[in-house]
A and B are shown apart, each in its own frame.
Chain A
Amino acid sequence: MHGNRFRHNILTALLLAPATAWLVVFLVLPFVAIAVFSVGERAPEGGYQAAFTLAQYANLPARATAFWNTMVLAPVGALACLLVAYPVAYYLALKAPPRWRLILLALVVIPFWTSLLMRTYAWMYILGGRGIPALLAFVGIEDVRLINTPGAVLLGIVYGYLPLMILPIYVSLERLDRRLLEASADLGAKPLSTFLGVTLKLSLPGVMTGFSLVMILLLGEYLIPTLLGGGKVFFIGNALVDLFLQSRNWPFGSAIAITLVLVSVVVLVVANRISNRVAGARRVDLI
């Protein structure tokens, strides 16, 4: 009995070892390094110089605009994604003929097989002067500029992150007990109130998962605003790239990175609280 439990513990430890080692080497250690950098100083030629100062954190207001822009982009982008994704997920889960469902789901996922950079670059050409504006000029609508506008950035974000929003919502809708819908109708609810009172409410865990997932990724987003927005709006992601790769101010970049991680954690916790509350007793796992 005793030996059995010992063997069991050893087995558990062995099974967990690869994942633990992975997390320690690629998550914990880099995080510690960043934390150490963030209390250091920039060396005269750039990079890191050992020190203990909170000056980098005191300097955070110098990137206040970048933080603000990111805090606006992330929820707005996630919301736009949600508005497009929900009807798609609804159709897939409840309306699509079952034999089509798998094919349609595959179509949602297939774009993920190509890198986001390539797909965003494709949008640069579609929205650029030789793409849609050229077609519009052909039918007489001249001088339309689509690329490097806020609309182009929003389009790129919705396009890029749509599958991440569709899939969790689809899963929660797919698990929906159809009898509840019939019961609601039998009890006299109109289709709209059935949707709001039953379908939407029961799919909220999926909505919150998708929303948090997209929002957290958007907190670090910089590729799409750079390529489709012309780099005119400065996000935290852009600030980090500049600090590490251009001015090589690692300590300040590290302080911003740590702050961003903390903000992400807060977002996760708040989202978890909200979804727990609205979903009642149903437990929700985010990510």
Chain B
Amino acid sequence: MSKSYRDGLPISPENFVDQLMRLKRGSIGRRDFLGLTGLGIATAVMAREIGIMPTPAYAAENLGDRMSIATWPNYHDPQTFENFKKDTGVAVEVNVFGSNEEMLAKLQAGASGWSLFVPTNYTISTYKKLGIIEPLEMAKLPNFDGTQEDPRFTSEGTIDGTIYAVPKNWGTTGFAVNTKKLAKPMTSWKEFWDTAMAEGDGRTMVHDYQLTTIGNALKYYGYSFNSLKQDELAKAEELLLKVKPHLFAVSSDYQPGMRAGDAWMTMCWTNDGAQLHRDVPEIAYVLGKEGGEIWTDFYAIPKDAPNKPAGYALLNYLMNPQVAVKEHLANGAPSTDARVNKLLPKEVLDNPILYPAADLLTPLEFGAAATLTDPGRAELMARFKSA
């Protein structure tokens, strides 16, 4: 029997204990976890004890015995860090974050202690502008092969021809539908919003995230996902205020509601879409034909990283296709690296949730830094939430 990509996935459904463990690992929607808990960073120490002697391959540079990475919940194969420790003697402490904004706040405050972190595309230019990250020394990353990367996903890691970040994986933002409850086939954001006010009344969820909730409301009228134009945002606001009383929830923690059948439709990120469909086959993942968001998560090294040699060593290790393929099997997100795609099982590559048809990807837009930091959109979101 061939090994299913599901085997590596950390969540098993239908089990209350698992749900609790899931909460413990913080996978209630990475952008939302800390917003919900307000607990500050949820830190999981993968391996504290001092490791075995470094192997000769890494002995040239002193890597120390520990380093720290900031990333998203449920985003890595824990075995990756165990193996890295076996090879290098460096124990990796994993800090799990709820949103890019929190990561930025921590790095801006200084002395984060991270030697590697995982920012999303639209934050990289801000990190560069604030002088928080510096160009990567590509000589220390022989496993990275730019020629094997799809430039569409990697371009935002490169600013003025200099590489500041290298991609981890990409994904999309669409919506998930319980097709048993909402049988009518849907293909567009217009149908998403219209259904929310009709058959999906009281059963629809939108993200608690202005970038995607406002962006996908803009798509109702065919405007840009990133629009900052007053008149277009006013139209989006009008739609959002009209939909608000019909919603089940404004929350990025949509998996529990969808799994329990309380919610029938929700805005959804790729990974969650794949996990929901895997466990509840009647839940479909739809990309709006008008467009919407496409995103890439990157690896970058902070300027004040306390253990840069280990940061580079781990990043180089993660860029090894043999290692990266296990990461992708574990977290379920599609890869940007052609070498990794060659190693992935056919059922993963054929999964339209992870690797949608090219014509669906064409109209998608990357979120822009200006969209995320725009005060006008933040206020619009606050008006929507308090309506």
Say if the beta carbon of B188 comes within 8 Å of chain A.
no
Set of chain A residues within 8 Å of B38, measured between Cβ atoms: 222-223, 241
Give complex CA distance A239, B261 in Å: 29
Within the complex, what minimum Cβ distance (angstroms) separates B384 from chain A?
Answer: 9
A75 at the B interface (CB under 8 A)? no
Is residue B317 contacting chain A, with contact meaning CB distance below 8 A?
Answer: no
Chain B residues contacting A248 (CB-CB under 8 Å) are 101, 104-105, 373
CA distance A272 to B104 in the complex (A): 43
**Interface membership of B362, Cβ < 8 A:** no
Task: Please report whether the interface of chain B is mostly helix, strand, loop or mixed according to DSSP.
Answer: helix
Partner of A124, one of B34, B98, B247, B256: B256
Pair B378/A118 contact, Cβ less than 8 Å: no
Q: Which listed residue (A230, A244, A245, A249) contacts B375, Cβ 8 A?
A: A249
User: Closest B-chain residue to A128, C-beta based?
Assistant: B260
- Cα–Cα distance between A250 and B36 once the two chains are bound (Å): 19
Q: Does A52 contact B (CB under 8 A)?
A: no
Quick check: A145 and B202 within 8 Å, CB to CB? yes
> Which residue from chain A places its CB closest to the CB of B378 in the assembled complex?
A247
Are B126 and A45 closer than 8 Å at their CB atoms?
yes
Find residues 1-58 in chain B having any chain A CB closer than 8 Å to their own CB: 16, 19-20, 23, 34-39
Check if B129 is an interface residue, CB within 8 A of chain A: yes
Select which of A121, A124, A232 is within 8 A of B250 by beta carbon: A232
Q: Is the CB of B37 within 8 A of A238?
A: no
What residues on A are CB-neighbors of B256 within 8 Å? 124-125, 128
Residues of A with C-beta under 8 A to B375: 42, 247, 249
> Does B208 belong to the interface (CB within 8 Å)?
yes
Q: Quick one: which of B369-384 are within 8 Å of A by CB?
A: 373, 375, 378-379, 381-382
CA distance A129 to B262 in the complex (A): 5
A13 to B130, alpha carbons, bound, how many Å? 45
Stretch from A58-66, A100-108, A161-169 forming part of the interface with B? A58-66
- In the complex, whether A117 has a CB less than 8 A from a CB of chain B is yes
**Which chain A positions have C-beta within 8 A of B39?**
117
CB–CB A232/B35 < 8 A: no
With A62-B382, A247-B378 known as contacts, the answer to whether A230 contacts B251 (CB < 8 A) is yes
Q: Are A63 and B378 in contact (CB under 8 A)?
A: no
Chain B residues with CB below 8 A from A241, complex form: 35, 38
| Centre residue among A69, A231, A232 by max chain B CB count within 10 A | A231
> When A and B form their complex, what is the total count of cross-chain residue pairs whose Cβ atoms lie within 8 Å?
116
Tell which of A42, A232, A246 has the most Cβ of chain B within 10 Å. Answer: A246
A47 within 8 A of B: yes
Shortest Cβ distance from residue B311 to the other chain A in the assembled complex, whole angstroms: 24
Q: Does B385 contact A (CB under 8 A)?
A: yes
> A42, A222, A230: which has the most chain B beta carbons within 10 Å?
A230
Could you say which residues of chain B place their CB within 8 Å of the CB of A148? 248-249, 257, 262
Q: Give the most central of B20, B35, B102, B257: most A CB within 10 Å.
A: B35
Q: Which residues of B contact A231 (CB under 8 A)?
A: 208, 249-251, 385
Chain A residue contacts of B37, Cβ below 8 A: 117, 223
Which chain A residues numbered 112 to 132 have a C-beta less than 8 Å away from chain B?
Answer: 117-118, 121, 124-125, 128-131
- Given contacts A147-B257, A222-B38, A246-B35, whether A232 and B23 have CB atoms under 8 Å apart is no
The reply on B328 being an interface residue by CB < 8 A is no
Task: Decide: A129 and B249 in contact? CB cutoff 8 A.
Answer: no
Q: Which residues of chain A come closer than 8 Å to B105, judged between CB atoms?
A: 47, 244-245, 248
Contact with B along A218-240 (1 / 0, CB 8 A): 00001100110011101000110
Residue A242 lies at the interface, judged by CB distance under 8 Å to chain B: yes
Q: How far is the CA of A118 from the CA of B378 in the complex (A)?
A: 30
B residues near A247, Cβ cutoff 8 Å: 101, 210, 373, 375, 378, 381
Alpha-carbon gap, A148 to B19, bound state (A): 19
Please, which residues of chain B bring their CB within 8 A of the CB of A133?
Answer: 262
Instruction: Determine if A44 is an interface residue (Cβ-Cβ < 8 Å).
Output: yes
- Rounded to whole angstroms, the CA-CA distance of A83 and B205 in the bound complex is 34
The smallest C-beta distance from B97 to any residue of chain A, in angstroms, reads: 10
Min distance, Cβ B344 to any Cβ of chain A, angstroms: 33
Q: Does B108 contact A (CB under 8 A)?
A: yes
Question: What are 7 sample pairs from A and B whose C-beta atoms fall under 8 A apart?
Answer: A125-B256, A148-B248, A231-B208, A232-B250, A234-B382, A245-B99, A247-B375
Residues of chain A having any CB pair with chain B under 8 Å: 42, 44-47, 62-63, 65-66, 69, 117-118, 121, 124-125, 128-131, 133, 145, 147-148, 222-223, 226-227, 230-232, 234, 238-239, 241-249
- B residues with a Cβ closer than 8 A to A are 16, 19-20, 23, 34-39, 98-99, 101-102, 104-105, 108, 126, 129-130, 202, 205, 208-210, 244, 247-251, 256-257, 260-262, 373, 375, 378-379, 381-382, 385-387
- Sort A-B residue pairs by CB-CB distance and give the 4 closest, nearest first: A230-B249, A247-B378, A234-B386, A129-B260
